[in-house]
Amino acid sequence: MTSRDLMEAARALTDSGRGRPTQARLRRAVSTAYYAMFHCLAASAADLFVGRTRGSAWHRAYRALEHGRARSACRQGQTMREFPAEVRNFARAFVMLQIERQQADYALDTDAYRKSDVLSYITSAERAIGEFERADIKAKRGFAAHVLFRQRPS
């Protein structure tokens, strides 16, 4: 499974084949788009720190990414300014989509999702993933370290 597979699944969820997609499908599409970004970041970190061979060390590095820690790291303005635009854009989209994913998954009493809004979230995620994948390897490695490891005072 790749982040592209997840993005394809998110788009497919918005296309019901007959009329409007259900709220369940739209909410699942939002969640799936976020998980595409999460997978992109987790896989990138594992690839950069362990290599592309998917053994036990790779899976351990992949599973090290935590949702809350990643969100907090993406919101650290001072540190985030050190990264190029591709990484900063990914971080902003990651935080925005994580918030939307939490709404879609848990706030079931909120207003209904519109297909156009969900497609916008999916497009934002696709764009952010594409930019991130094209970013400089040193920037991606630094960002992976930033989201995975807690910084301690010097």
Question: Does 111 fall in a domain?
Answer: yes
Per-residue pLDDT of the chain (154 residues; tens, 9 = 90+): 899 999 999 999 998 777 788 999 999 999 999 999 999 999 999 999 999 888 999 999 999 999 999 999 999 988 999 999 999 999 999 999 999 999 998 987 767 889 999 999 999 999 999 999 999 999 999 999 999 998 777 7
Question: Does 27 fall in a domain?
Answer: yes
pLDDT of 31 reads: 97
Q: Which long-range contacts (CB under 8 A, 24 or more apart) does 75-79 make?
A: 76/146, 79/146, 79/151
Sign of torsion over alpha carbons 13, 15, 17, 18: positive
Q: Where are the alpha helices (DSSP H) in 83-153?
A: 85-106, 115-134, 137-148
Question: Does 43 fall in a domain?
Answer: yes
Question: Does 153 fall in a domain?
Answer: no
pLDDT of 147 reads: 95
- How far apart are alpha carbons 152 and 154 in whole angstroms? 6
State residue 55 phi and psi, 5-degree precision: -100, -165
Instruction: Give the residue numbers spanning the domain of 116.
Output: 3-148
pLDDT of 72 reads: 95
